[in-house]
Amino acid sequence: MHAAGSARTADSETGTSAESDTTGVAPATTTPAATPFGKSRSRAHTADFVRVFLFTFVVVAHSVNAINGGPDEVRGANLVGTLCHLTRYGFVAVTLYVLVLSMQGREMSPVQFWRRRFGLVVGPYLAWTLIYAVTDHVIIRDNPFPPAGEWLSGLVHDLFVGEGKYQLYFLLISMQIYLFFPLISWIFDRGRNRPWLLLSGGALIQITMFVIYQYLPRPSGAAWDVAYHHLWKTLPMYALFVAMGVLAAQHQQAVDKWLREHMATVVLVAAGCAAFTVAGYLLATSPGNVPWKANTAWNPVSLPWLVGGFALLWLIGLVWDDRRAAGRPAAAKFVSQATLRAFGVFAVHPLILDVLGRVGFLSGLFEWFPHSAILRSLILIAVVLSSSLIVVDLLLRLPFSKWLTARPRIPLLPKRREKKQDRAVGAETS
């Protein structure tokens, strides 16, 4: 394996964070690659910014869903959920984007790649599936442990299909991205000069999947039923965003330049996409009548927002990164610290929601604010985020933090403080 420059690469559940000592010089990402994984690497601060917001939206969606009340509130909560479906598709694009950048300049066989990458996601996936297999019966009311054989059978099933908890399916998608990345890279390297063809192919595949799941009848037969139930967790459901992530990394300079030069257009188009998706949802629902298909993650009506919203979020991240690179106050440290904790928050926040439900906090919100679903939701989001961050900070200090946070362990005491204490001890003993 050959690396260009000094690099730090860290993977999380939904993406890879890659940095290299490029001293701010933009790489020639649009030149033909010398290896299957590209030619050069660059920083991914914009991707880190976008990933932090996507993780936050995941917590928002699950918190709002946990606190909605009557039929009228369900309609509003599901609208928020519809818009927050952006997270799953955005994660795929960000993952491919940063993965391509992090692998550029490296000669690595598929086996070497898999050995390096899979351990970073498989460990946390196994750990959190096991944790939720226990806590779901310990914390959630009226959900006692089944017989040992049944519990073990359920655990094995959840491991295979990503149903240990409602967010863990995305780790299976991450594994598929790693599994097929050598093939994806090979395809896109050979189609580098035909980006619109590759983008159109990805769109066609994804729209086909959307139509199958949204409009066509469910197939009959046990085997087909099982496949249909889990096929949405496979990469074809995300093909457009796979293409978007890879192509944005391959043509990084051109894409970033276009976004900077057309900011107003991007904002207006994204606003139009949001209005289209919201209008489609509202027309398909009414107070007290919210068909489940109106809120699906594969509703074709949502696709304009999924694309436009992600482009807008990426533009915001790009503007932030420009300010950071120019030395202006841009909360760079906050984004860096949030990126370090993002996967942990993703993994642990359903446990926080379960605990809050068990101790009566969720029902208490209805008693304290019976007529304000918005206020209940805002309070719950703040509590879940802050509590998750506290728990993640504790997990990061444990010896096996990589299994829980997908990050190396952080020392209990900062190095500077440790050095000061060492000097103080030395002065006292001398």
Residues 70-95 pLDDT 10s: 777 889 999 999 999 999 999 999 99
Say how many domains are in the chain: 1
Contacts of 85 (CB under 8 A, 6+ apart): 61, 297, 302, 306
Per the CB < 8 A criterion, the answer to whether 4 and 28 are in contact is no
Query: Which is it for the CA torsion 247, 24, 40, 107, positive or negative?
Result: negative
Residue 71 lies in a domain: yes
pLDDT at 396 (0 to 100): 95
SS3 for the chain is CCCCCCEEEEEECCEEEEEECCCCCCCCCCCCCCECCECCCCCCHHHHHHHHHHHHHHHHHHHHHHHCCCHHHHHHHHHHHHHHCHHHHHHHHHHHHHHHHHHCCCCCCHHHHHHHHHHHHHHHHHHHHHHHHHHHHHCCCCCCCCCHHHHHHHHHHHHHHCCCCCCCHHHHHHHHHHHHHHHHHHHHHHCCCCHHHHHHHHHHHHHHHHHHHHCCCCCCCHHHHHHHHHHHHCHHHHHHHHHHHHHHHHCHHHHHHHHHHCHHHHHHHHHHHHHHHHHHHHHHCECCECCHHHHCCCCHHHHHHHHHHHHHHHHHHHHHHHHHHCCCCCCHHHHHHHHHHHHHHHHHHHHHHHHHHHCCHHHHHHHHCCCCHHHHHHHHHHHHHHHHHHHHHHHCCCCCHHHHHCCCCCCCCCHHHHHHHHHHHHHHHC
Contacts of 174 (CB under 8 A, 6+ apart): 13, 14, 95, 121
Q: 136 to each of 59, 240, 355, how far by Cα in Å?
A: 18, 35, 10
pLDDT at 349 (0 to 100): 97
Residue 176 lies in a domain: yes
Residue 221 burial (CB count, 10 A): 9
Structure confidence at residue 129 as a pLDDT band (50, 70, 90): very high
pLDDT of residue 14 exceeding 50: no
pLDDT at 414 (0 to 100): 64
pLDDT at 272 (0 to 100): 98
pLDDT of residue 37 exceeding 50: no
Residue 168 lies in a domain: yes
pTM for the full predicted model? 0.85
> pLDDT tens digits, residue range 177-204?
999 999 999 999 999 999 999 999 999 9
Average pLDDT score over the chain: 86
Enumerate the β-bridge partners of residue 38. 35
Question: Among 1-5, 86-90, 169-173, 400-404, where is mean pLDDT lowest?
Answer: 1-5
Residue 76 lies in a domain: yes
Structure confidence at residue 25 as a pLDDT band (50, 70, 90): very low
Per the CB < 8 A criterion, the answer to whether 409 and 397 are in contact is yes
Residue written as token pair 């994204």: 270
Residue 225 lies in a domain: yes
Residue 364 lies in a domain: yes
Residue 1 lies in a domain: no
Contacts of 146 (CB under 8 A, 6+ apart): 154
Q: 406 to each of 31, 90, 100, how far by Cα in Å?
A: 33, 20, 20
> pLDDT tens digits, residue range 320-358?
999 998 888 778 889 999 999 999 999 999 999 999 999
pLDDT of residue 416 exceeding 50: yes
pLDDT at 415 (0 to 100): 62
pLDDT at 227 (0 to 100): 84
Written as six digits, the tokens of 349 are: 């926040």
pLDDT of residue 249 exceeding 80: yes
d(CA 253, CA 93): 17
Residue 104 lies in a domain: yes
d(CA 250, CA 29): 5
Q: What domain range includes position 208?
A: 7-429
